[in-house]
Structure 1
C-alpha cells in the first residue's frame, strides 16, 4: 500500500517549484480527472465519439504536464516502463497533486520569490 505523507509531498514539492508549472498542473490535473470520469461514462453509454474525445483530452493533459515540467529546475527522473508511467500518472494526478494543492508545501512554492 502506498502512503501519502509529508515525505512524499516534500519530494513532490521539489519537482513542482515554479508558478507556471503549478498553474499548468492545476489545469492539467483537473482535466485528467474529468476526462477519465467522462471516459468511463462514455464507455458505459457506448458513445464512441465521446470516448475518443475523452481519450484525446487525457493525452492533452499529459502533454500539458510535460510542458510544465520543462520550467522546473529539478527534473523528474523518468519512468521505468509503461506500467510505471500509468501508475505514476494516476497516483500523482488523482491523489498526490490534489493533496499537494491543499497542503502548506504548495503554498510555500507558490509564495517563493523568484529572481
Structure 2
C-alpha cells in the first residue's frame, strides 16, 4: 500500500494541471469521501436504500472525475485490473488528493493552469 501511495504521489502534479479538472476535483473528492462515510454508516445501520444512494454518489463522483481527467494534457496511466482501479481510486480520494490540497499543490497547480 505504501508503494502505491508513493508511486501515485510522485506523478500527481503531472496528471492534475487542467483548471477544469482541478476545480472538479476540489468539489468531487470531498463528495466522494462523504458518500463513502455515509455508505459505511448506512450499512452499519442497515439502511440499504441510503447505502445504494451512497454507492451511486461515489460512482457519479468517480465518473465525473474521469471526465475531468480527459481534459488533462497528460493522460492517466490505464488501470491494469479491477483491484488496481479500486485501490488507486481509494488512495487518490482518501490520501493523495487531500495531501495535494493540504501541501498547497492544488492551489499552485490552479494558479499555473491555463
Question: Structure 1 length normalisation: TM-score?
Answer: 0.89
Contact persistence 1:42–1:51 (CA under 8 A): yes
Deviation, structure 1 residue 63: 0.6
Give the gaps of 5 or more residues in structure 2.
none
Contact persistence 2:16–2:72 (CA under 8 A): yes
Q: Secondary structure at the match of 2:12?
A: helix
Deviation, structure 1 residue 35: 0.6
- Matched with 1:52 is 52
- Matched with 2:82 is 82
Note if 1:64 corresponds to 2:64. Answer: yes
CA distance in structure 2 between the partners assigned to 1:106 and 1:22 by the alignment: 7
Contact persistence 1:19–1:110 (CA under 8 A): yes
Give the gaps of 5 or more residues in structure 1.
none
CA distance in structure 2 between the partners assigned to 1:79 and 1:113 by the alignment: 26
Contact persistence 1:9–1:105 (CA under 8 A): no
CA distance in structure 2 between the partners assigned to 1:43 and 1:21 by the alignment: 31
Report which of the two has the higher share of helix: 2
Give the number of aligned pairs: 113
Question: Structure 2 length normalisation: TM-score?
Answer: 0.90
CA distance in structure 2 between the partners assigned to 1:55 and 1:113 by the alignment: 32
Deviation, structure 1 residue 26: 1.2
After superposition, the Cα gap between the structure-2 partners of 1:98 and 1:113, relative to the gap in structure 1 and judged at 3 Å, is closer
- Matched with 2:12 is 12
